[in-house]
Each structure stands twice: as structure tokens, then as C-alpha cells.
Structure 1
Amino acid sequence: MAIELLDEHEQGERVRDWLRRNGLGLLAGVALGLAIIGGWQWWQRQQLAERMQVGESYQAALASIRAGQLDQGRTRAAALRDGAYGTLVALDLAKAELEAGDRDAAIVTLEQAADGADPAFDAVRRQRLARLLIDAGRAEEATELLAGAGDVGGLEALGDARFALDRRDQAREAYAEALRGLDANAPQRRLLELKLTQAGGTPPQPETI
């Protein structure tokens, strides 16, 4: 029994000795862990607050645009230039400017909008901007804007820009590629086929696409 008590005593001394030597580091590790957890929670709260603030700013800009207060809408949109909300508000503002008869202002709005976080939003922005540029007699700029387009809408707009420049061979290529990306029953298919025909091409049969 004495040996067992002695062993327990020795073990206790070893534990106390280990704590004396490593206690400060242990406490520092615990403090660091708590600080990391607290910092992560703080960062999450900050991110949530920022997202809510951006969402509210977007709604305020949208309200101004829909109320026809375009100058105020432009000011609010400028604060949202980065990210997906910036692209969305630019699309809304450009639409309102175009409806107000100010095509040039709509072009500037879409040109100044930064690439959105969502590639789909930015693809729409580029398509709309390209069509406005074509309408303004700036088809060459539209072809540069759509260089490398791979979506159906972008390819169709690229074909329109090339057709406006009388580059019919290149227009046919863009229209044909756009058709290859469309389902046989897609509503815009007929219009694309007409454009391809007008450019001197022959629409492919749906079953061969």
C-alpha cells in the first residue's frame, strides 16, 4: 500500500512539475484559441452587416431609379459599382436611361459597371452594352467587347455586330455557334435561324445539333 501511495505521490508531483513548466504555454494556447474563435465570430458578424448594408443600398438605388429620379439613382449606383449588386443596379439604371431616351447615358452606365461577382450577370451586361454600341454605330467596339463570348446571347450579339460591319462570313460563324447551343424548341431559335439565313448561311437541322 505504501508503494502505491508513494507512486501516487510521485505522479502528483510530476503533474505539478509539468504544470509549473508548461502552465504558461497552456494558458497562452487556450487564450489564443478563444481569441481565434472570437475573431471568427466577429468577422462573420461584420460580413453579415456589410451584406445587409449593401442590400439596403441596392434597394434604395432601385427605388430612386423606379421613381424616375435618375440623378439620385446614378449617385447611389456609383457606391455599388463593385460586385453583383453593382452589375444589377447598372442594368436597371441603363434600362431606365434608355427608356428616357438617353442611349449615350445608358452606354456610359454599362461601361462603368465593374465585372460582377456572378459571371452570368456580367454576360448580360456585356450583351446589352454591345447592342447599344451597335445601335450607336460603334459595332467594332461591340466585337471587341464580346471577344471570346461562349454563351448563346453573347454569340448572337457578336453575330449582329459582325453583320453590322458587313463581315458576313464571321457573322454566320457566330450565329451558327449560337444555334448549336440552343435546344430545338428554344423560343429564340427561329429568330437566330432568320439571322443566319440573312447572313447567307443555312440553318442546321435540329437533329444534327
Structure 2
Amino acid sequence: MASEQHEWCGWREAAERALYGTDGFFRRAEGPAGHFRTSVHASPLYARAVTELLRRVDEALGRPPELALVDLGAGRGELLTGVLAAAAREPHGLAARLRPYAVERAARPDGLDARVEWRETAPEGFTGLLFANEWLDNVPVDVAETDADGVPRRVEVSAADGAERLGAEVTGEDAEWLARWWPLAGAEPGLRAEIGRPRDAAWAEAVRCVG
């Protein structure tokens, strides 16, 4: 029988396993596009719009010798593939100077354009455009819920069947984050909030990499 400690975990840990574990959703061979479509998959117009944004960034930067496009949460590289195709029609040698980076925890897909550098983290000190399409909503976070007394508590999840229960009171930096961005204290029982500190940290780390 699993111990109490291992049977229950917070939502952040549960989501980390479900999304990025060995057989996690984003690591499976079919990829996200095998289950749903986002704007990246719906039309080539999206990649063209990103290419236009990239062109404007390039112009604002004085057309540097190397222009990075860093796609956070790149899926299977669909957006970068579309941008590479669209960039070939742009002036000022944009395509030749473009350096595309796919930041993704899944394995590199077969057949992806060799120009795309596949990484688990963003490159350091790059010059160009940092792009994150529906990335932050896939950064795992813990969930808080108010109890009968209006006290925010962590929601715990059973690894066995997905059942939930209320755990310890939210304290420290997480409590401070809730108080500022998603106040729950004193609210009616059952109200929920996501504790977004990990997302804040993930975005801050990504932005830090921009040269």
C-alpha cells in the first residue's frame, strides 16, 4: 500500500507528472496537435503574422548579423517551420540571418528543418524575438482553496484516482503572492486560485536570457 506521503501530492507535482513525466502528455509521440489545435496549427496566417513581427524587430535592432527567434513551448516546431518558410520571402537577407530555437521538453521530432536548434532551455544572451504561444498556462502550479473558515489551503491530489482534499494552509511567499494577485483570504468556502509564482519565475528566467 502506498504511504500517505506518496499517495497525495500538490497540484503542481501532479501536473508536472501528467504533462512532462516519462509518458506525459507533452512528451507523447503524437504531440499536442494530435489532440487539439491552437492558432499555430489552424492557419499559415499565424506564422506569417509572427514573421511580420520578427521583421519589425529586425528593423528596430538595425538588422543584426544573427537574429534569433526563440519559441518557448515549441510543440513539434510547427511555428518555426512556418516562419522559416515565410522568412524566405522577406528582404534584407532575413532568412539567411535567422537563427530559430525551439525550447521544448519533448524529444526533437523526425524531419524537422535542420536549421532549428532544439533545446530544453532558452539560449543565453540572444538578440531577437522571444515568443511564447500558450506556454505559461502549461507551467505547473499549485492550487489553493478556501476552507470553511475562509482560510486558503493547498489542494492535494490522490495519485491513485485523482481525488482531492484540502491540505496545509498556504503560507510564506505563496501566501504573499495570493494576497497581491489573487486574494482568497476571508472568501466564501470553496473558492480557488492558482498560485502563480512558478509562472512568474519561469517568465523572469526566460526574459533574462534576452541580450
TM-score range, shorter chain: under 0.3
Greater share of residues in helix: 1
Structure with higher Rg: it is: 1
- TM-score normalized with structure 2 length: 0.19
Q: Which structure has more RCO (C-alpha within 8 Å, separation ≥ 6)? A: 2
